[in-house]
Copies of this chain bind each other. A is one copy, B any other.
Amino acid sequence: MKLQELGEFKLTKLISEIIDKSRCLDHASWQDLSIGPGDDAAVWQSSNHTQMATTDTMVQGVHFDLDTVTWEELGWKALAVSLSDIAAMGGIPQYALVSLSLPVELEAESISRLIKSMTCLAGKFETAIVGGNLTSAPNVVITTTIIGYSRSEILKRSTACAGDHIAVTGYLGTSAAWLKNLLGKTTLDARSQEILRRAHLQPTPRIKEGQALVQQGIRTAIDISDGLIADLKHICESSKLNAWIGLEQIPVHPLVKLNFPDYQELALCGGEDYELLFTANKNAIDMTRQVLSCPVTVIGEITEQAQPEHVVLRDKKGNIIPHKKEGWNHFGNEFSRAKLT
């Protein structure tokens, strides 16, 4: 079966199963492993730390187009997507490795700009870029790896409880709105364009927020990269539970609401928001509002596994709204980024 028929999530499952079969508990590396494939980062126990590592790849023509992104934005985003996975674990990023596959006809100046932007973002989070790899290639491929740690607990996908409220940081759909804007059907002023562009190309990974959530006793989170529904589904699958989302409760930036009639679709399935989605009891979520400087919005609830669908949408009256799309699927008809970690 071809990858496009199998689809991304079944391929991820296939690979995870092969890796799982190779697990050998005689070996110290497996003994120390807390979380393998299936969360935002791999996690293992070191002598007095919880350590974690994650990797992400961006491919020219799939994740970005060199005609619509600056080299500074590309460098920033390529590193931000990996840092966001460390944020989703409540971790502290330490070291980054950067692997660049580059066409030989590129200008060296472009690569300088890309790397400078990466060092700028890394510096904001006290992360050191310590190595990587260079190869020639027919198209640009950037793989970033982050190694981090946690001094205390971490955030997982598998720890949601029935009755937990579901909350998100910031606004959803703004990143996807930028892509929609590129199609040219929307007329936006320069300031609005800048807000959308930054949301898509210069997201700030929620590193501080992830650590604050851990300190508030939150234990369940994921970053929204595939899309709200798809990522909530990852939590539901890991926690063996279901969930509903109140469609009217999803935080959408006013300018997206104003200019994009399909703003709900962008927020539900757009992805690449790099906001944190987390679950906890009502009191714990209320407490997070006091420590996080970004908006925190309750959008739904984790439920027992009653309905066949992992995630359902509800309108204001609580009625279930039919919905087909989920998020990006790399190897299916829709496209996406799939995490093994």
Contact = CB atoms under 8 A, between A and B. Distances in A.
Interface string A44-56: 1011110001111
Given A15-B111, A97-B54, A123-B22, A29 B131 contact: no
A94 interface: yes
Nearest to A338: B134
Interface stretch (A33-41, A156-164, A175-183, A246-254): A33-41
A332 to B, nearest CB: 9
A47 B49 contact: yes
Interface in A175-223: none
A11 interface: yes
14 contacts: A1-B108, A1-B109, A4-B105, A15-B134, A29-B128, A46-B47, A47-B49, A53-B53, A53-B130, A53-B131, A55-B97, A57-B143, A133-B339, A138-B138
B57 A95 contact: no
A128 B33 contact: yes
A43 to B, nearest CB: 8
Contacts of A335: 136
B119 A29 contact: no
A59 interface: yes
A320 interface: no
Interface in A72-119: 94-95, 97-99, 101-109, 111-112, 115-116, 119
A131 B36 CA distance: 6
Nearest to A106: B3
Contacts of A316: none
A199 B168 CA distance: 52
A131 B2 CA distance: 22
Contact of A33 (B109, B130, B134): B130
B94 A29 contact: yes
A293 B177 CA distance: 61
A59 B101 contact: yes
Given A18-B115, A97-B54, A132 B340 contact: yes
Q: Which of A8, A21, A32, A133 has the most CB of B within 10 A?
A: A133
Given A15-B111, A22-B123, A147-B147, 6 more contacts: A35-B130, A55-B143, A55-B145, A59-B138, A133-B143, A141-B141
A122 interface: yes
Contacts of A136: 3, 59, 62, 330-331, 335
